[in-house]
Structure 1
């Protein structure tokens, strides 16, 4: 009976994206308010939890589950994590930087959650652009550009919130080139495996990510 009830609850939640949208909106909105308040440290410490919750909500409202989705996630996580590992330990791809413990448990100096963050951003961008009936290479390039522009918003805030720290507190241009290369590879793989991008909350999640970092750039930096 309990299993049946749980299945029924999950089906109801999936049939109503409003629930997911409200949760996402609440967490990002109050995240902005909290970080701008005197209790910002408490909210900053919950960043990894917020990323994990966003990931679970994204999966919950995914229309189609397939091997393509799994392979896309694994590839994105692996290449994103590997790039970060090379950056943190050897100064390759992005430049010289380190991760404090703000984003939670680490492996080789890289937060375990960082691969999930790469997937959240790239999947949401793909869900926005991939449905359009335009040239495949053009979609990949546009998706890469949007992702790099999002990183432009992220970087100053990330330094301010101690998510990661750049050498000499300077964001190198190499970082954005690195983001472009890694993003291009990820979106290319998404295109090859035909990633199923129909998702009821992906667009809203993308918008809230942009609002979150744009707002903190305006009021915090």
Structure 2
């Protein structure tokens, strides 16, 4: 039994990810918004756990990169939330779990997670490495774009004035490029199947709710 689980751990993880996201889409559509959205920390925490399980983050180089992206993401968001320096004027809601000076710990983990999986999606192509870096950062921005419309409804975060300005997306791209460059310098590659499915599950979820209204 353990051998079967080890051999199929990627597809089992992919199945769990899609199950959670599809269940949330159905549940929210049927009117159970609060129940499902309050479980956001569980969903993101599970995705992060599966990410650690599949890659895995099992040596000093990978741990260092993960910590850099976590701390870098937290610091960028801290500047944004407290000083409106990077992403505009916004604040986080209550559905991202515990916070450090207004910034949820999960958002730091999410920056790290997105950096790794978007890089992995493009790493297995024959594109030039500069295109891979910009393309991976672009995938991060695309996901953020579709998240923004639902974020206030889901009590993730709220921008002053309702929606973010171009500054938010431009900064996301620049920070994403910086993180992707660091990842390339570390020469870390992940699992393409897992990364692609996790990204698509989240993208499909937020695209659906982008057009849901």
TM range (shorter): over 0.9
Deviations 1:78-103 (CA, angstroms, capped at 9, x unpaired): 11111100000000110100012111
What is the correspondence of 1:173-212 to structure 2 with a 5 Å cutoff? 173-198=166-191, 200-212=193-205
Matched with 1:42 is 35
Q: Helix, strand or coil for the counterpart of 1:148?
A: helix
- The 5 Å alignment of 1:109-128 reads 109-128=102-121
Q: 1:178 offset after TM fit, Å?
A: 1.1
**For 1:84, which of 73, 77, 80 is the aligned residue?**
77
User: Partner of 2:18: helix, strand, or coil?
Assistant: helix
Q: Unpaired segments of 5 or more residues in structure 1? A: 1-7
**Counterpart Cα distance in 2 of 1:162 and 1:63:** 31
Distance 2:194 2:146 in 1: 21
2:19 aligned partner: 26
- CA positional deviation for 1:64: 7.2
Per the TM alignment, residue 129 of structure 1 is displaced from its structure 2 partner at its CA by: 0.5
TM-score (norm 1): 0.90
CA RMSD of aligned residues (A): 1.7
Q: TM-score, normalised by structure 2?
A: 0.93
Residues 63-142 of structure 1: pairs in structure 2 closer than 5 A: 65-142=58-135
- Structure 2: 5+ residue stretches without partners: none
- Tell me the equivalent position of 1:171: 164
Q: Could you tell me how far apart the structure 2 residues matched to 1:152 and 1:79 are?
A: 21
Structure 1, 130-139 or 104-113: larger mean CA deviation: 130-139
Matches within 5 A, 1:135-150: 135-150=128-143
